[in-house]
């Protein structure tokens, strides 16, 4: 290994940081990857493996927020990311509508068609044609590669620093833009689900058995601001109740785990050079949709650092939206 100082230092060895480090190393860049918790020690190591083909919001609400063209560009960006996602079983994703949401399903499906998101009405809500479940071991193997970039516990120096530290706002630019939210997963002893399911409570069910993850509604503060990845019993109880209501044949609880996800101030990832400081690059704020966002955003960061021709990330994800 070369003793030369790194050209790029990547902080964070979650999916985003690993993908950036891999892409740079493959291009011959001297990379230093830093994470005091080691590989996948943060939220990435807790995820279930549901790859949404869109932002985790109903299509008509996404369209209302970004406009038709903006929402379509975001969906296209995510679809390109899914095309390159190792370990993806493209079985689609079922959206389970709550009774309150049932009146919005026509709007959701009409908007899905306008923004290029394949969707079909089902008895319980709608089925998104793209996305699916990811074999996370296969994803990790692909991100590490045959010649893994070593992970250091402490930072060194480099020409450029990339901050892929999830909910930890290591660069001051992120301090007022990211909020930690504790999410947790409860794993049940079956039954196996063929297709991942998501629901209004930001609950997802998936994984070669039956697992439920979520946070919302179970505690008064909805787990916002929680930085300790220790499961909260009220959230466990809520997830168990929601799961057994949706899947009455769910087995015994096998395992409960929590992780801290990074929600951004406007709900969208934050990717690119810090305005006014091009040697500091951020790639964070994926909330609960890391599999949809982290890899295509990482690829855009790598392209940007290498000066490769690239469309970059869609405008609503760029750091430039916060430029003074």
Ligand X SMILES: Cc1cc2nc3c(=O)[nH]c(=O)nc-3n(C[C@H](O)[C@H](O)[C@H](O)COP(=O)(O)OP(=O)(O)OC[C@H]3O[C@@H](n4cnc5c(N)ncnc54)[C@H](O)[C@@H]3O)c2cc1C
Give the interface with ligand X as residue ranges (CB under 6 A): 11-17, 34-37, 41-44, 46-50, 164-166, 168, 170, 183-185, 204, 213, 259, 261, 284, 286, 288-292, 294
Helices marked H in the chain:
15-26, 59-83, 105-114, 136-144, 233-246, 290-306
Of residues 97 and 203, the one with the C-beta less far from ligand X: 203
Instruction: Name every residue whose Cβ is closer than 8 Å to that of residue 139 and which is 6 or more positions away in sequence.
Output: 15, 85, 86, 87
Minimum Å gap between C-beta 149 and ligand X is 14
Minimum Å gap between C-beta 91 and ligand X is 14
Minimum Å gap between C-beta 16 and ligand X is 4
CA distance linking residue 90 with residue 76, whole number of Å: 16
Minimum Å gap between C-beta 299 and ligand X is 14
Minimum Å gap between C-beta 139 and ligand X is 11
Of residues 114 and 201, the one with the C-beta less far from ligand X: 201
Of residues 55 and 105, the one with the C-beta less far from ligand X: 55
In the chain, count H helices and then E strands: 6, 17
Residue 305's alpha-carbon distances to 17, 50, 145, in angstroms, are: 14, 29, 20
Strands, E assignment, 153-285: 158-163, 178-188, 197-199, 204-206, 210-214, 253-264, 270-274, 277-284
Of residues 54 and 119, the one with the C-beta less far from ligand X: 54
CA distance linking residue 271 with residue 319, whole number of Å: 6
Of residues 290 and 296, the one with the C-beta less far from ligand X: 290
Minimum Å gap between C-beta 103 and ligand X is 28
Of residues 287 and 316, the one with the C-beta less far from ligand X: 287
**Residue 176, number of CB atoms within 10 A of its CB:** 10
């Amino acid at each position: 290994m070369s003793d030369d100082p790194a050209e790029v230092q990547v902080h964070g060895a979650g999916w985003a940081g690993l993908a950036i480090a891999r892409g740079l190393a493959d291009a011959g860049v001297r990379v230093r990857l830093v994470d005091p918790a080691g590989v996948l020690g943060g939220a990435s190591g807790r995820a279930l493996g549901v790859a949404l083909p869109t932002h985790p919001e109903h299509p008509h609400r996404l369209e209302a927020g970004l406009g038709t063209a903006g929402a379509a560009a975001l969906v296209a960006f995510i679809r390109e990311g899914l095309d390159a996602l190792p370990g993806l079983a493209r079985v689609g994703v079922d959206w389970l509508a709550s009774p309150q949401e049932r009146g919005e399903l026509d709007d959701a499906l009409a908007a899905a068609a306008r923004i290029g998101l394949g969707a079909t009405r089902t008895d319980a809500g709608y089925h998104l044609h793209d996305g699916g479940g990811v074999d996370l071991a296969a994803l990790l193997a692909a991100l590490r590669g045959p010649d893994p970039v070593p992970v250091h516990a402490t930072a060194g120096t480099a020409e450029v620093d990339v901050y892929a530290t999830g909910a930890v706002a290591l660069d001051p630019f992120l301090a007022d833009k990211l909020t930690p939210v504790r999410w947790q997963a409860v794993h049940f002893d079956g039954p196996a689900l063929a297709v991942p399911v998501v629901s209004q409570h930001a609950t997802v069910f998936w994984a070669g058995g039956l697992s439920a993850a979520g946070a919302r509604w179970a505690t008064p503060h909805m787990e916002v601001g929680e930085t300790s990845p220790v499961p909260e019993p009220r959230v466990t109880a809520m997830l168990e109740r929601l799961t057994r209501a949706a899947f009455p044949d769910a087995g015994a609880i096998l395992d409960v785990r929590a992780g801290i996800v990074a929600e951004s101030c406007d709900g969208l990832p934050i990717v690119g050079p810090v305005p006014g400081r091009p040697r500091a690059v951020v790639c964070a704020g994926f909330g609960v949709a890391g599999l949809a966002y982290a890899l295509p955003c990482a690829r855009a960061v790598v392209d940007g650092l290498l000066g490769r021709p690239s469309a970059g990330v869609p405008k609503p994800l760029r750091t430039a939206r916060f430029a003074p």
